A and B are shown apart, each in its own frame.
Chain A
Amino acid sequence: MNVMTWIVGAVIGGMVAGMGVTYWLMRCRDSCGDREPQVNPVEQQWAEHERLWRDFCDAVSPLLPVLIAQLKVVVEETGRAADGLIERFQTIAQRARAQVEETTQLFGAMTDAQGDGQPTVARLLDETRATMEMFVQEVIKTSQISMKAVAVMEQATDSTASISQMVEEVEFIADQTRLLALNAAIEAARAGEHGRGFAVVADEVTKLANRSGHAVTRIRELTEGVRSSTEAAMRELGVLASVDMTPTLQAQQRVNGFTEIMARKTVMLEENVNKGSERANELADDIAQIVMSMQFQDITRQKIEHVYEPLEKIQFCLERFRSDQNTSHPPDTSLKEAMAFLHELEARYTMESERMVMGQVKQGRQDNVELFATAAAGNGDNITLF
Chain B
Amino acid sequence: MGKTVLIVDDSVSMRQMVAFTLQGAGFEVIEAGDGKEAVSKLNGGAKPNLVITDLNMPNMDGIALIKAIRGMAAHKFTPILMLTTESAEAKKKEGQAAGATGWIVKPFNPDQMLQVIKKVLP
Contact = CB atoms under 8 A, between A and B. Distances in A.
B85 A385 contact: no
Interface residues of A, number: 33
A382 interface: yes
Nearest to A386: B96
Contact of B16 (A90, A352, A355, A382): A90
B13 A294 contact: yes
Q: Secondary structure of the A side of the interface? A: helix
Interface in B39-66: 55-56
Interface stretch (A105-113, A229-237, A297-305): A297-305
A100 interface: no
B72 interface: no
B96 to A, nearest CB: 5
B100 interface: yes
- Range class of the B interface residue count: 35 or more
Interface string B96-121: 10001111111111111000100110
A382 B84 CA distance: 10
B117 to A, nearest CB: 11
Interface string B13-45: 110110011001000000000000000000000
Nearest to B103: A384
20 contacts: A83-B16, A86-B16, A90-B16, A97-B24, A291-B20, A291-B110, A295-B13, A295-B14, A297-B11, A298-B9, A350-B85, A352-B86, A352-B88, A382-B108, A382-B112, A384-B103, A385-B101, A385-B120, A386-B96, A386-B102
Interface of A: 79, 82-83, 86-87, 90, 93, 97, 287-288, 291-299, 301-302, 350-352, 355, 379-386
> Top 10 closest A-B pairs, CB basis?
A295-B107, A382-B105, A298-B11, A385-B102, A384-B103, A380-B87, A82-B13, A352-B87, A386-B96, A288-B110
Given A83-B12, A295-B17, A351-B86, 19 more contacts: A83-B13, A288-B111, A292-B107, A292-B109, A293-B107, A296-B107, A298-B85, A298-B106, A299-B106, A301-B11, A350-B84, A351-B85, A381-B105, A382-B109, A384-B103, A385-B101, A385-B103, A386-B96, A386-B102
